[in-house]
């Protein structure tokens, strides 16, 4: 019986070390980066644009967010995003109803193609801590 107790001791010790390491790494002083809320309006030819989602992508971190553009051209990202520089581009509107029948995805050809990709969009914004409001102007 004593031999069985000794065999379990290293496993028990290992378990304690794993738990201790996870607690220590969780308390290592790493702070979450500051975040900001993002909202605004998308404009094309001086009018509100509504036929897409707007996407914010931080190429340095891969983080970002997106939101459908509303009927008045406004948008609001659902969650705050980390402060930093973001590329802004368009994507097909997201379906709000997960039970809805899937529809073919298409892009609005009246909008210049460069705005439909993170690799070609020339729109950059700087998200600051707190509240951020941007007018995203799509140029012909």
String of DSSP letters for the chain: -HHHHHHHHHHHHHHHHHHHHHHHHHTS-PPPPPEEEEEEEEEETTEE--SSEEEEE-TTT--EEEEE--TTSEEE-SS-EESEEEEEEEEPPPPS-TTSPP------TTS-GGGG-TTT--EEEEE-SEEEEEEEEEP-
Q: Which has more pLDDT, 95 or 18? A: 95
More confident residue, 47 or 103: 47
> CATH number, domain at 46?
2.60.40.10
Does the residue 73 lie in any domain? yes
For residue 79, is pLDDT > 70? Answer: yes
- Does 29 map to a domain? no
Q: What residues make up the domain containing 131?
A: 35-96+106-138
Is residue 15 predicted with pLDDT exceeding 60? no
Domains: count for the chain = 1
pLDDT of residue 30 exceeding 90: no
pLDDT of residue 29: 52
| Domain assignment present for 116 | yes
pTM: 0.75
């Amino acid at each position: 019986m004593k031999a069985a107790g000794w065999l379990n001791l290293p496993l028990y010790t290992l378990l304690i070390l794993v738990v201790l390491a996870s607690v220590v790494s969780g308390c290592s002083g790493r702070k979450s980066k500051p975040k900001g809320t993002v909202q605004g309006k998308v404009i094309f030819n001086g009018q509100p644009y509504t036929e897409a989602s707007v996407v914010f992508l931080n190429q340095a971190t891969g983080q970002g967010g997106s939101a459908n553009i509303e009927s008045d051209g406004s948008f609001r990202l659902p969650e705050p995003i980390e402060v930093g520089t973001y590329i802004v581009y368009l994507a097909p509107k997201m379906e709000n109803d997960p039970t809805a029948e899937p529809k073919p995805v298409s892009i609005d050809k009246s909008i210049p193609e460069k705005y439909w990709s993170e690799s070609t969009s020339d729109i950059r914004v700087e998200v600051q801590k707190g509240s951020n409001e941007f007018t995203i102007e799509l140029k012909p």
